[in-house]
């Protein structure tokens, strides 16, 4: 496969009942999956353990370094258990919200008693004011708060509908005092660290302290250092993302809750703003939610979905994500193949339709200057690839920030660091036993590129490395190199 036909934007796929056996995962990887997402809102620890092991096995079988993203549930704002039929709420109904598992204290005369999850009832009833809005089931049912006497509150239904057990709640416009990381999340995180997940996604992040709290927990309990991906969905985070960005290793634009909290009409603009901000800082960004939603039950996407995926590519996203499409849909493999095809088609035209100003390196940073220059030189000389020799992956990530047209090959000696590049635009990784300083560094690069089908004899490639020591964080060299494979003396 020649360099130009490789896909640059990565695919994150959620594993679930339709896709959690090793053969299914291997088929997804062969179809184009780069990162497997384990959604900790569902499933037991034993099940996640099993799926994690299957991903690692399937990756090995498919010969590809696939990352595992653990997605923590966060404080789930949801109603409690209702009868098998649910309840029908009508405009004008007065409803008493009370903590599940308790008996309502307030009068229920003329009111419908509706349990909500006990862990959130106390804080929510203190956070709301008269007139606050509470939405249920992704915004389908709309209500206003009449009064609150913690841990209970009385609401009036404005737009009704049928409500069933465990449906989500949203409180647009109400700053919430709930911690972003619950006791369940901490237990789940402990499992993720024990397994060795490559990244952890935090739900409902509002402030930088939500992220630093989790980083502290990790530092205290484990030597394992997964990437921390902040899910941007709450109003507080959307309007002041800069501080959160500084402490995060990646962003996920979680458009589902965002649409309910802020209005669906605002989502496209926010998506573009967040992607641009991440691109400028070289922070990987994943665009998520309903990208190919109709493929849960249909073998083909709608035209609007194809446009949505392509537009995320034009916006500059590093990765796009499948949720139910790959986890519980009828066509998980087809969804990955379709997404890959849409991305590749869009990538043939990103130079025409992306609206980005070319980025320039941060002044004073050697690695930024080197990688920026490498991206320019590779384009000028028509290189077949840009090879980055890197321990941590930092140099390759920095290079990806400049979105070179020439394929980026990260040559690394750490599988864990290599997997973390599965979220980053345009990087392909090659693992070698050890990055050691050799007299024939460039001969080694030639051999690695040829052995891995990334270049042929006599191709021009651009190499960045730290010489002479190959020490960590020392990228200081660019070489335009003609591939010559050393003749093995038999």
Query: Thinking of the domain 3-75+179-349, which architecture would CATH place it in?
Result: Alpha-Beta Barrel (3.20)
pLDDT tens per residue across span 20-71:
999 999 999 999 999 999 999 999 999 999 999 999 999 999 999 999 999 9
Alpha-carbon Rg for the chain, nearest whole angstrom, is 25
pLDDT tens per residue across span 294-312:
999 999 999 999 999 999 9
- Pairwise CA distance, residues 294 & 301, whole Å: 6
- From 7, 231, 384, 419, the catalytic residue: 231
pLDDT of res. 21: 97
- From 14, 35, 289, 338, the catalytic residue: 289
Q: Which CATH superfamily is domain 87-170 in?
A: PK beta-barrel domain-like (2.40.33.10)
b or e along 276-302 (b: 16 or more beta carbons within 10 Å of the residue's beta carbon)?
Answer: eebbeebbbbbbbbbbbbebbeeeebe
- Active-site residue 438, yes or no? no
Q: Is 40 strand, coil or helix?
A: coil
Location of each CATH 3.20.20.60 domain in the chain: 3-75+179-349
Give the position of tokens 């990987």. 284
Q: What is the overall mean pLDDT for the chain?
A: 94
Q: Is 461 strand, coil or helix?
A: strand
The strand order across the sheet containing 133-136 reads 112-116, 94-99, 152-159, 141-149, 133-136, 169-170
Q: Where are the beta strands (DSSP E) in 299-406?
A: 319-322, 385-389
- Pairwise CA distance, residues 188 & 226, whole Å: 14
- Active-site residue 14, yes or no? no
Location of each CATH 2.40.33.10 domain in the chain: 87-170
Q: Is 341 strand, coil or helix?
A: helix
The helix (run of H) or strand (run of E) holding residue 61 is helix 45-62
- Active-site residue 129, yes or no? no
Q: Which CATH superfamily is domain 366-482 in?
A: Pyruvate kinase, C-terminal domain (3.40.1380.20)
- From 7, 10, 37, 234, the catalytic residue: 37
Could you tell me the pTM of the whole model? Answer: 0.94
pLDDT tens per residue across span 189-229:
999 999 999 999 999 999 999 999 999 999 999 999 999 99
- From 6, 78, 133, 447, the catalytic residue: 78
Location of each CATH 3.40.1380.20 domain in the chain: 366-482
- Active-site residue 231, yes or no? yes
């Amino acid at each position: 496969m020649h360099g130009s036909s490789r896909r640059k934007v990565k695919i994150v796929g959620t594993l679930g009942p339709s896709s959690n056996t090793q053969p299914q995962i291997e088929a997804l990887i062969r179809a184009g999956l780069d990162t497997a997402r384990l959604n900790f809102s569902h499933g037991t620890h034993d099940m996640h353990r099993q799926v994690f092991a299957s991903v690692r096995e399937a990756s090995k079988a498919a010969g590809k370094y696939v990352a595992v993203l653990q997605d923590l549930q966060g404080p789930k704002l949801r109603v409690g258990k209702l009868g098998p039929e649910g309840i029908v709420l009508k405009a004008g109904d007065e409803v008493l919200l009370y903590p599940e598992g308790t008996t309502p204290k307030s009068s229920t005369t003329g009111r419908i008693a509706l349990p909500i999850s006990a862990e959130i009832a106390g804080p929510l009833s203190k956070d709301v004011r008269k007139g606050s809005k509470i939405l249920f089931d992704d915004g389908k049912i709309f209500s206003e708060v009449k009064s609150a006497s913690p841990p209970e509150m009385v609401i009036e239904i404005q737009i009704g509908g049928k409500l069933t057990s465990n449906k989500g709640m949203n409180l647009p416009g109400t700053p919430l005092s709930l911690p972003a990381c619950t006791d369940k999340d901490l237990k789940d995180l402990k499992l993720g660290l024990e397994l060795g997940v490559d990244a952890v996604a935090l739900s409902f992040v509002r402030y930088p302290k939500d992220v630093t709290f989790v980083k502290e927990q990790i530092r205290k309990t484990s030597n394992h250092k997964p990437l921390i991906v902040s899910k941007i969905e709450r109003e507080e985070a959307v309007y002041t993302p800069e501080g959160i960005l500084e402490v995060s290793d990646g962003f996920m634009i979680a458009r589902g809750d965002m649409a309910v909290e802020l209005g669906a009409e605002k989502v496209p603009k926010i998506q573009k703003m967040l992607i641009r901000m991440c691109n400028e800082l070289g922070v990987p960004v994943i665009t998520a939610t309903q990208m190919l939603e109709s493929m849960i039950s249909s073998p083909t996407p709608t035209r609007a979905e194809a446009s949505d995926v392509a537009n995320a590519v034009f916006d500059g996203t590093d990765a796009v994500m499948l949720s139910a499409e790959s986890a519980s849909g009828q066509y998980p493999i087809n969804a990955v193949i379709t997404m890959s095809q849409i991305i590749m088609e869009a990538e043939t035209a990103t130079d025409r339709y992306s609206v980005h100003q070319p980025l320039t390196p941060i002044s004073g940073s050697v690695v930024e200057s080197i990688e920026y220059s490498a991206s320019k030189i590779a384009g000028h000389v028509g290189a077949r690839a840009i090879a980055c020799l890197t321990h941590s992956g930092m140099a390759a990530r920095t290079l990806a920030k400049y979105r070179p047209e020439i394929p980026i090959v990260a040559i690394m000696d750490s599988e864990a660091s290599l997997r973390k590049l599965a979220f980053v635009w345009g990087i392909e990784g090659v693992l070698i036993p050890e990055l050691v300083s050799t007299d024939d560094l460039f001969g080694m690069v030639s051999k690695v590129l040829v052995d891995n089908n990334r270049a042929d004899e006599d191709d021009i490639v651009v190499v960045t490395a730290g010489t002479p020591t190959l020490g960590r964080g020392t990228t200081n060299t660019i070489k335009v190199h003609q591939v010559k494979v050393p003749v093995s003396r038999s």
